[in-house]
């Protein structure tokens, strides 16, 4: 069937048969779907012959870039040897063991056990279940409540959506009991007159207040992304995570770092927890673990948690057909080898600095650019009606949408989250490609300014 593809109209077939994730289908059918046909390095090719710089690395995941034959070979080799076997019922496979061992080596101190799943959502779901079982095992079954944050994103299973702080998702599905949400550490949007440092403490203490309100004896865990990605690349002030560490410890609350986006070098450190000094009890990993080449995720358990789960919890009634899938694990191992051999993690820190400096220079005169922020190769550009007062445009999300469409038309993919343009290019991006990304961003944000000029404070 795939050999005949040139002869069929993929747009029509897609509209007829494909129900997409996170999509308004009426709107999609009116515009027509974009068909991506191939990719190499940081570039995508679509069916119309356009070449597009993917400044999002797919959905924040293609760390090692597209077209890596080493990953293809690792998959083919493992598929030939053992394409599948499960890790239930007292069995394991070579790639799963070796990957668990490798993850224990590169993860922060004390995180020595990996539980495998297929997606970030499944990892989050698994971490939340583990938190509940942990407290049950310690004789505190009433410790059930999970605290997350507004604008948090922890996936789209019902538990993940409930832990996340996306109100539209809560409305449709994620309204499970025993979840609460606190203010995100989003200084630009919510910091008012406070300095970022003051606001970091203030936002962390919302957690303390929430625990007090609920009673620490009822709270199982706090879950947070080191940097909130899908929520708009919200980078907490430096004061935030140390205070959260303290609050979780003092109140005997598990701390879950959702590293699905931050993990595997995005921040210029292997994990976001390394960058911010977070002391998690569990970490969820996905996306960059295989650079998106195959589905795979993991929950890393700190020894504190693993000892209880292994020695005292009895049987763990949880797992997936594809937990520890040998082909995904083989690809992950090769992918981590690439990150290490090509020094892509330290490279992300250096390239991120170059990228932000160039963006700052290119966008300095654009009146709607309120802030450019980033850590490593994850970043954001705030579009604002008045940059002196950090005032957003009317109908939040409208101007971001305009900008995103200009970006696409100009050949660069950036995401709009409300009116915040976010980016996370492959860690392999080179200097010329950084220049190209900056040029295309400058052009697109310039066109956006022209389109909304009348609304901008002079
Ligand atoms: N946690 C975090 C921090 C994520 O960013 C998930 C969990 C869920 O992973 P899965 O593999 O189940 O999708 C994510 C995923 C976007 C976007 O548009 C972000 C994600 C997924 C899809 C779209 O920003 N993040």
What pLDDT digit, counting tens, does each position of 338-355 carry?
Answer: 999 999 999 999 999 999
- Listed residues 322, 341, 360: the one ending a domain: 341
Separation of CA 154 and ligand 1 centre (Å): 7
pLDDT for 305 beyond 70:
yes
pLDDT score of 225 more than 90? yes
163 Cα–ligand 1 center, Å? 13
Averaged pLDDT for residues 375-394: 97
Look at residue 7 in the predicted model and tell me its pLDDT: 63
Q: Ligand 1 pocket, 368 CB below 6 A?
A: no
177 and 266 both lie in a single domain: yes
pLDDT category at 294 given cuts 50, 70, 90 is: very high
Return the pLDDT at 458.
Answer: 77
188 and 323 belong to one structural domain: yes
The tens digit of pLDDT for each residue in 197-206 reads 999 999 999 9
Tell me which of 230, 233, 267, 379 to substitute to probe ligand 1's pocket, judged by most ligand atoms within 8 Å of the beta carbon.
230
CATH assignment at residue 387: 3.90.1150.10
- Confidence grade of residue 321 (pLDDT, cut at 50, 70, 90): very high
pLDDT reported for residue 298: 99
Query: Do 368 and 422 lie in a common domain?
Result: yes
Whether 55 and 101 map to the same domain: the answer is no
What DSSP state is assigned to residue 248? H
Of the residues 341, 359, 380, the one at which a domain ends: 341
Confidence of residue 251 (pLDDT cuts 50, 70, 90): very high
Total tally of structural domains belonging to the chain: 2
Residue 262 shares a structural domain with residue 409: no
State the distance from the centre of ligand 1 to the C-alpha of 150, rounded, in angstroms: 15
On whether both 224 and 299 belong to a single domain, the answer is: yes
In this predicted structure, the answer to whether residue 385 has a pLDDT above a threshold of 80 is: yes
Q: Is residue 126 part of a domain?
A: yes
What's the mean pLDDT in 46-59?
97
| pLDDT score of 4 more than 80 | no
Segment 404-452, tens digit of pLDDT: 999 999 999 999 999 999 999 999 999 999 999 999 999 999 999 999 9
Query: What is the per-residue pLDDT for 276?
Result: 98
**Nearest atom, ligand 1, residue 297 CA:** 11
Same-domain check for residues 393 and 323: no
Same domain, 211 and 118: yes
Do residues 60 and 185 share a domain? no
Q: Using CA atoms, how far apart are residues 173 and 368, in angstroms rounded to an integer? A: 35
| Domain-located, residue 7 | no
Q: How confident is the model at residue 1 (pLDDT cuts 50, 70, 90)?
A: low
Domain boundary among 286, 308, 341: 341
Q: Are residues 137 and 241 in the same domain?
A: yes
Mean pLDDT computed over every residue of the chain: 97
Paired residues of 40 in beta bridges: 43
Q: Specify the residue with its C-alpha closest to ligand 1, atom 22.
A: 59
Regarding whether 251 and 236 lie in a shared domain, the answer is: yes
Full residue range of the structural domain in which residue 419 is found? 34-64+343-455
74 near 100, Cβ under 8 Å? no
Q: Work out the pLDDT band at 26, boundaries 50, 70, 90.
A: very high
> Is residue 25 in some structural domain?
no
Both 98 and 212 in one domain: the answer is yes
């Amino acid at each position: 069937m795939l050999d005949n593809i040139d002869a069929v109209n993929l747009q029509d077939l897609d509209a007829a048969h494909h129900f997409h994730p996170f999509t308004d289908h009426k709107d999609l059918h009116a515009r027509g779907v974009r068909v991506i046909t191939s990719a190499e390095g940081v570039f995508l090719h679509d069916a119309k012959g356009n070449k597009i710089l993917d400044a999002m690395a797919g959905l924040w995941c293609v760390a090692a870039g597209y077209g890596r034959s080493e990953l293809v070979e690792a998959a083919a080799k493992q598929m030939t040897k053992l394409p599948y076997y499960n890790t239930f019922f007292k069995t394991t496979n070579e790639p799963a063991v070796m990957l668990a061992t490798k993850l224990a080596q590169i993860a922060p101190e004390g995180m020595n056990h990996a539980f495998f799943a297929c997606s970030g959502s499944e990892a989050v779901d698994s971490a939340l279940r583990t938190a509940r079982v942990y407290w049950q095992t310690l004789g505190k079954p009433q410790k059930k409540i999970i605290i997350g944050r507004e604008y948090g994103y922890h996936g789209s299973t019902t538990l993940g959506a409930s832990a996340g702080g996306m109100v539209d998702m809560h409305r449709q599905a994620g309204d499970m009991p025993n979840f609460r949400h606190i203010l995100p550490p989003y200084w630009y949007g919510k910091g008012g007159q406070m300095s970022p440092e003051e606001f970091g403490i203030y936002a962390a203490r919302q957690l303390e207040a929430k625990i007090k309100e609920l009673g620490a004896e009822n709270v199982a865990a706090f879950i947070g992304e080191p940097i909130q990605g899908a929520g708009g690349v919200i980078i907490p002030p430096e004061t935030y995570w140390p205070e959260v560490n303290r609050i979780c410890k003092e109140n005997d609350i598990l701390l879950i770092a959702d590293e699905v986006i931050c993990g595997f070098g995005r921040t210029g450190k292997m994990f976001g927890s390394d960058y911010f000094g977070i002391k998690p009890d569990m970490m969820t990993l996905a996306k960059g673990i295989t650079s998106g080449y195959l589905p795979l995720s993991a929950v890393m358990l700190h020894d504190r948690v693993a000892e209880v789960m292994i020695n005292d919890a009895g049987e763990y009634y949880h797992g997936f057909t594809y937990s520890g899938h040998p082909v995904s694990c083989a690809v992950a191992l090769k992918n981590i080898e690439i990150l290490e051999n090509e020094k892509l993690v330290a490279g992300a820190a250096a390239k991120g600095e170059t990228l932000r400096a160039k963006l700052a220079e290119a966008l300095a005169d654009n009146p709607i650019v309120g802030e450019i922020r980033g850590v490593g190769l994850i970043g954001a550009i705030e579009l604002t009606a008045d940059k002196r007062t950090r005032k957003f445009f009317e109908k939040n999300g409208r101007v971001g949408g305009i900008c995103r469409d200009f970006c696409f038309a100009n050949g660069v993919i950036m995401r709009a989250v409300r009116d915040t343009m976010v980016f996370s290019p492959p860690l392999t991006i080179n200097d010329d490609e950084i220049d190209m990304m900056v040029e295309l961003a400058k052009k697109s944000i310039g066109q956006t300014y022209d389109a909304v000029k009348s609304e901008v404070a002079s």
